[in-house]
Amino acid sequence: MTTYYVDCAAGSDSASGTGPATAWRTLAKASGAAYLPGDRVLFRRGTTCTGTFAPTASGAAGAPFAAGAYGGGAEPRLAGGGARAAILLDNAQYWELRDLDVTNTGPATTTERRAGILVRLHDAGTGRHYLVDGVSVHDVNGADFKDPGPSGGILFAVQGSAKPTRFDGVTIRNSSVAHTDRTGLGTSPTWGRRPAHPNGPGTSFAPITGLSVHHNTVRDAGGDGIVVQNADNEGGFLLICNGAGMISDRNTVRYNVSVNDRNTTAPYGVISVVCAPATRTLVHHNTITTNAPGTAVVSSNGPGGAPSVTTSSPAPRPVPRLPMHATPRTTTSTPGSPRCPPPTPARCVVTRGSSPRTTCGCGPDRPPWAPAYRSRAAATGTSTAIPCPTRRTSAPTKDGGSRPNLVVPRPQLGNYLRA
């Protein structure tokens, strides 16, 4: 396992690249090296590398290939300069990207697709183990294309029609995307045909599996903020839309903050569950604000597919600015039992309306009443997070017993979207 170094300010492509004093200079050199599983390539902080980092090597199970940073100063910048992508991984797997600053600004265009990070599989079977952690992607001015071949910030795309192809094990965390066209962060498939979707793309079904997207920030996306397929604030925070003949079931969206949402185009809203009916969909523990009059906050298709809409208040709502790198945690325990953790500063949620309600204390990750409660709060736009006392409380049940309340440690957030 070898670590290679790239210094785009003072390196030399004729050097060995195996130490800071013998670092390479260009992305072309770093892209063409013959790497082995477990190798690393590190870019010097405080420098800018122009072009595309497009290595063809793959890691292996237990020995992924990694790209990151070394030295002091600002994160190293990889600037695509209008290329297809600043970081391009084609038919590569077992890859980890950390602590990089990525941009891809070129001449204004209505035809060229551009991305910050683009991971593509083309008739490659299953690509495994991808991690994007602590990466900032910004200022990507590609053409406004979504599928196929999207423009955007961080993209995972399946292409080809000869061999069923999919991703397995994708994690995007603690990263930010800002000022990108069209998609902030997304996945796109070409193998979606199955009995539940007989007219889907491809000739069989190859779903993305092991996908985790959490603790990210998306700002100023030209189209959609986070789009997950097969597994912009102008378009709202959340859209669940299953096409004709497709099933939408068991969706869970939680621990997100979305700021300055708006969507005045019927039948959509800030939260939209539309198209064909969706079943067993839970949307809870999200903080969402809108200051646009006439914006539908929740638009759902109802049990039979008929949309129902709740209109927002024109008054802007403040959003708590909390650290984004804390891992969401919940505990399940009866207050006062040995398993209940000692009192710690937590947060509770108060809903003001016809039935004010406060929740805080020890409790399960999703008690039976939590999804409905948070949905009402999101629909009316009247939920406010405030400090709650550290004393644990329990609520009486109909049979005279007690049940634990929900613990909301501070912070308990997932992804963050802002216009």
Q: Quick one: what percent of the chain has pLDDT higher than 90?
A: 42
Q: How confident is the model at residue 282, as a pLDDT?
A: 84
Indicate whether 274 pLDDT > 90.
no
- List of E strands, 236-325: 238-242, 248-249, 252-254, 257-259, 271-275, 278-279, 282-284, 287-288, 296-300, 308-311
Q: What totals of helices (H) and strands (E) does the chain contain, helices first?
A: 2, 35
Q: Name residue, tokens 């999703």.
A: 366
Nearest to 276 by CA among 259, 301, 313, 310: 301
51: alpha, beta or left? (left if phi > 0; alpha if psi -120 to 50): left
Indicate whether 49 pLDDT > 70.
yes
How many angstroms separate the CA atoms of 279 and 196, rounded? 14
Domain spanning 3-231: CATH 2.60.120? no
How many angstroms separate the CA atoms of 214 and 411, rounded? 13
Confidence of residue 280 (pLDDT cuts 50, 70, 90): confident
How many angstroms separate the CA atoms of 383 and 385, rounded? 7
Q: What is the dihedral of CA 202, 274, 418, 172, to 10 degrees?
A: -40
Confidence of residue 127 (pLDDT cuts 50, 70, 90): very high
Q: How confident is the model at residue 416, as a pLDDT?
A: 54
Indicate whether 271 pLDDT > 50.
yes
Window from 26-40, 159-173, 213-227, 321-335 with minimum mean pLDDT: 321-335
Tokens of 84: 């297809």
Q: How confident is the model at residue 198, as a pLDDT?
A: 78
Do 238 and 268 form a contact (C-beta atoms < 8 A)? Answer: no
Contacts of residue 354, defined as CB under 8 A and 6 or more positions apart, other chains included, come to none
Average pLDDT over residues 77-98: 98
Phi, psi of 353 (to 5 degrees): 170, -150
Q: Please state, in angstroms and as integers, the Cα–Cα distance from residue 9 to each residue in 41, 72, 185, 314, following that order.
A: 16, 14, 30, 51
Q: How confident is the model at residue 340, as a pLDDT?
A: 32
Nearest to 407 by CA among 341, 343, 330: 330
Do 23 and 52 form a contact (C-beta atoms < 8 A)? Answer: no
Indicate whether 33 pLDDT > 60.
yes
What are the domain boundaries of the chain? Answer: 3-231, 281-388+404-419
Q: How confident is the model at residue 74, as a pLDDT?
A: 97
- List of E strands, 135-182: 136-141, 152-159, 166-173, 176-181
Q: How confident is the model at residue 322, as a pLDDT?
A: 36
Do 383 and 356 form a contact (C-beta atoms < 8 A)? Answer: no
